Amino acid sequence: MSNVVPSPAQTIDGRKLAAALRVRLKNHVDVLLNDHKILPSLAVVLVGDDPASHVYVANKKKAAEKVGIRSSVHQLPRETSQDEVLKLLHKLNEDARTHGILVQLPLPKQIDTATILRAIEPAKDVDGLTVQNAGRLASGLAGLFPCTPLGCLALIKSVRPQLAGLHAVVVGRSNLVGKPMAQLLLRENCTVTVVHSRSRDLDALTRLGDIVVVAAGKPGLVTAAGIKPGATVIDVGINRAADGTLQGDVDFAAVARVAGAITPVPGGVGPMTIAYLLANTVAAACRQHELTQPDFSI
């Protein structure tokens, strides 16, 4: 019997990677301002009083300002009608000084999310949620793609620069995370399996993965039994435990004994999501001014 004790997984530091990306972004914003007199600008639309949404929006605003992006928050009361939100979006679409528009989800019940997303000008859709940008991603064209999967891809590439031929398993198939993640990994020439709530034998499916990205919103869903030794594990889940602490979808302690590399929660995907929102805003500003779109991938 072998006495070899497996070495613990490398923890991928999302805060450190996000900080490095913000330095690149700040340099780019400085060039845009000094050489082209362009101030990249992000408008966030926040409807209602969901406390988590308010925290997320405040974090996005602070992060934008740190790299020199102008940000404005359009805060509307919970009872705002769909037409009023559409009117605001129309105004922001037409405003040449606004380069990026983000509607913070979820929206109150009286507002249809799909109708609102359809109303965002695709060139300003920094969350990458319009049908046009989703189609561009699926068709292999350039566009604005969802920030969380972009952040996950950068986290993966920080430890595995060559992805071609690797088997990637994505748990979750939302338009926000799972589907665009699968598309980005396909673009990298991975073999991709997408797992969802109707899939059978989660452990057997995730064990196929050299890379496993988990975005289900179910604390501790993926355990050591579902991980191939040496795999790269990206935990997107954010779940608040009864004691108020944040928990991912992956059993970190147990999986870290099997995986090759793993992201923590918090401090993994979260900071990268915000950094790529800023990257999308800078990219949108460049495209709207017919400048070459910078590449902020790793």
Please give the structure tokens belonging to residue 187: 């673009």
Q: Give the integer Cα–Cα distance in Å for 146 and 213.
A: 15
Instruction: Determine if 236 is a binding residue for ligand NDP (CB under 6 A).
Output: yes
Q: Give the integer Cα–Cα distance in Å for 203 and 244.
A: 28
Instruction: Determine if 216 is a binding residue for ligand NDP (CB under 6 A).
Output: yes
Instruction: Determine if 273 is a binding residue for ligand NDP (CB under 6 A).
Output: yes
Contact yes or no for 145/271 (Cβ under 8 A):
no
Please give the structure tokens belonging to residue 60: 């996005």
Q: How many residues bind ligand NDP (CB under 6 A)?
A: 26
DSSP state of 97: T
Task: For residue 127, indicate whether it is catalytic.
Answer: yes
Q: Give the integer Cα–Cα distance in Å for 70 and 88.
A: 18
In sequence order, what are the residues at sequence separation of 6 or more whose Cβ sits closer than 8 angstroms to the Cβ of residue 147? Answer: 126, 127, 128, 273, 274, 276, 277, 279, 280
Q: Give the integer Cα–Cα distance in Å for 144 and 277.
A: 10
Name the minimum Å distance from CB 104 to ligand NDP: 12
Q: 101: helix, coil or strand? A: strand
Q: 49: helix, coil or strand? A: coil
Instruction: Determine if 57 is a binding residue for ligand NDP (CB under 6 A).
Output: no
In sequence order, what are the residues at sequence separation of 6 or more whose Cβ sits closer than 8 angstroms to the Cβ of residue 242? Answer: none
Name the minimum Å distance from CB 105 to ligand NDP: 9
Among 226, 237, 260, 264, binds ligand NDP (CB under 6 A): 237
Q: Which is nearer to ligand NDP, 215 or 286 (CB)?
A: 215
Encoded one letter per residue, x for contact with ligand NDP by CB under 6 A and - for no contact, window 139-158 reads ---------x----------
Instruction: Determine if 196 is a binding residue for ligand NDP (CB under 6 A).
Output: yes
Name the minimum Å distance from CB 141 to ligand NDP: 23
Instruction: Determine if 202 is a binding residue for ligand NDP (CB under 6 A).
Output: yes
Instruction: Determine if 197 is a binding residue for ligand NDP (CB under 6 A).
Output: yes
Q: Which is nearer to ligand NDP, 122 or 264 (CB)?
A: 264
Instruction: Determine if 85 is a binding residue for ligand NDP (CB under 6 A).
Output: no
Q: Residue 169: CA atoms inside 13 Å, Cβ hemisphere, count?
A: 23
Name the minimum Å distance from CB 272 to ligand NDP: 8
The active-site residue out of 124, 125, 127, 183 is 127
The active-site residue out of 60, 124, 179, 228 is 60
Supply the residues annotated as catalytic: 60, 104, 127
Residues lying near ligand NDP in the complex (CB under 6 A) are found at: 148, 171-174, 176-178, 195-199, 202, 215-218, 221, 236-239, 269-270, 273
